[in-house]
Structure 1
Amino acid sequence: MTLAVALLLATGLAFAESPTRFEHWVPSGWKLISSATGDLNQDGADDAVLVVEEVSAENLFENDGFGPPVLNLNPRRLIILFNTQDGYQEFITRDNLLPSEHNQEVPCLEDPLLGEGGISIERGRIIVELGTWLSCGSYGVSRQTFTFRLESEQFRLIGYDYSAFSRNSGEMTETSVNYLTEQKKTITGGNMFEETTPSALWSRIAEPHHFYLEDISLDCHSRNSPGCNWYR
């Protein structure tokens, strides 16, 4: 598949997510790839969270190794809209928050957001799920769930959940962090394929801090990366 064909295919999917409803908020040269609605500020009206992705051939790279033939590294942007008497109004726009569809360093990685995760609004909270599933190089499968709640005109990270298992051994681990209570729960000893007795360990967060959607990154592999000091 050539880069030109890949770009045409990507552009053809630009309006898969209800274009007329949110098209005003999709920048020129971008496409809407995901949306969720729900009341975020407790005013009784459904607000919206959009994920848009740039459509540029400059961010498509041919891949001669394992993984897809073309890697889509187009950046993604998260947009939060509040529903007012005058219609939707932009509240937050965030770049450098979400991973792209592909990763040049890990070409076998499936799309962390649309392939294995997603964005939703539940009980007035924004839920972002990112998954890790590789078609080569690793048997590991993992899922991260981030929960944000509106506090004082900012969306605070109040919960982080991480689960992982091995597709060959079945071994499982889980971690759950509550940033409101500053408690962390770690479960080890589980197995997908056999009966086990997992053990749970409770601890305090080593460095309590408030983290906000406005200034963190969710595409983290090290707490030393910019915006990743929340990282476990």
Structure 2
Amino acid sequence: MNKFLKLLVLLQLTTFGSYAQEIEVSEFIPEGYLATEKHFGDLNKDGQDDCVLIIKKTDKNNVVINQYDKKVDRNRRGIIVLFKNENGYQLADKNYNCFSSENEDGRGYIPPDLVIQIKNEKLYVHYGHGRYGYWDYTFRFQNSNFELIGYDQTDMGGPSIIQQISLNFLSKKKLVRKNTYQSKNGGDIKEVFDEKWTDIKVEALIKLSEIDDFDKLVLDNY
């Protein structure tokens, strides 16, 4: 087989493999939803690329006119986690409605940006809220579920950090870092942190599948 034919066969196999992968993944999307994002990476330490889907409901009744007379889709979003194996994909975890729409009002500012990441065999749910800060939820697959093992919150005042909170639900430790620097002229930016560690009480880890609404999941009161 000459080089051209080898290249053609390889291209066909790659195209077919990608198409077959799309077909396999789409089988797990429930009726009345569509997939808006796909993320791949190893989540169960077997060396294979698992798949995380962000899905969104397609109910036309949730397409409304907002306060700016603009038509927006307020359908909620959810997540599906699929493990890759030799036979394709299998369902690992799911939560169809735990995320708000990307078109919420944003409490007087832009709505938070939802970002999904897979790093070090862990699933990260990141919310970025512009000048107000950001927060991260860290999940790991254990006990047949994706469980919340960490939470990190950063509160900001414009370009500078006001406070950071970090919770480790495995070690049952909480770190609070407060910026103690006070600007004298209101123009300079500086961060001088006071750190405090405390123990927290954790009776049971929160499961991804059991979170009704991330917007109402209050964790900084531990």
Q: TM-score, length-normalised on structure 2?
A: 0.76
Q: Which runs of 4+ in 1 moved over 4 A?
A: 18-21, 190-193, 229-232
Asked if 1 retains the 8 angstrom alpha-carbon contact of 2:36 and 2:55, the reply is yes
Structure 1: 5+ residue stretches without partners: 1-17, 134-139, 224-228
User: Structure 1 residues 218, 198: CA separation in 2 closer, same or farther (over 3 Å shift)?
Assistant: farther
- Answering whether residue 175 of structure 2 is matched by residue 185 of structure 1, we say yes
CA deviations 1:111-149 (Å, max 9, x no partner) are x3xxx331111111111101224xxxxxx5121101111
User: Structure 1 residues 181, 96: CA separation in 2 closer, same or farther (over 3 Å shift)?
Assistant: same
- Answering whether residue 101 of structure 2 is matched by residue 94 of structure 1, we say no
Match of 1:226 in 2: none
Asked if 1 retains the 8 angstrom alpha-carbon contact of 2:93 and 2:145, the reply is no
Asked if 2 retains the 8 angstrom alpha-carbon contact of 1:30 and 1:52, the reply is yes
Measured after TM superposition, the shift of residue 102 of structure 1 is 2.5
Structure 2: 5+ residue stretches without partners: 1-20, 182-186
**By percentage of residues, which structure has more helix?**
2
Match of 1:32 in 2: 35
User: Structure 1 residues 211, 27: CA separation in 2 closer, same or farther (over 3 Å shift)?
Assistant: closer
**Cα RMSD for the two superposed structures:** 2.8
Measured after TM superposition, the shift of residue 60 of structure 1 is 1.2
User: Structure 1 residues 164, 70: CA separation in 2 closer, same or farther (over 3 Å shift)?
Assistant: farther
Q: Say which one has the larger Rg.
A: 2
Q: Which amino acid aligns with 1:150?
A: F
User: Counterpart of 2:27 in 1: which secondary structure?
Assistant: helix
Match of 2:26 in 1: 23
- Answering whether residue 48 of structure 2 is matched by residue 51 of structure 1, we say no
Measured after TM superposition, the shift of residue 108 of structure 1 is 4.2
CA distance in 1 between partners of 2:38 and 2:49 (Å): 12
CA deviations 1:46-70 (Å, max 9, x no partner) are 11111011223211110134xx723
Asked if 2 retains the 8 angstrom alpha-carbon contact of 1:31 and 1:52, the reply is yes
Match of 1:125 in 2: 122
- Answering whether residue 214 of structure 2 is matched by residue 219 of structure 1, we say yes
Percent of residue pairs identical: 24
User: Counterpart of 1:117 in 2: which secondary structure?
Assistant: strand
Asked if 1 retains the 8 angstrom alpha-carbon contact of 2:162 and 2:178, the reply is yes
CA distance in 1 between partners of 2:115 and 2:26 (Å): 20
User: Counterpart of 1:96 in 2: which secondary structure?
Assistant: strand
Measured after TM superposition, the shift of residue 95 of structure 1 is 2.4
Q: How many residues align?
A: 197
Q: TM-score, length-normalised on structure 1?
A: 0.73
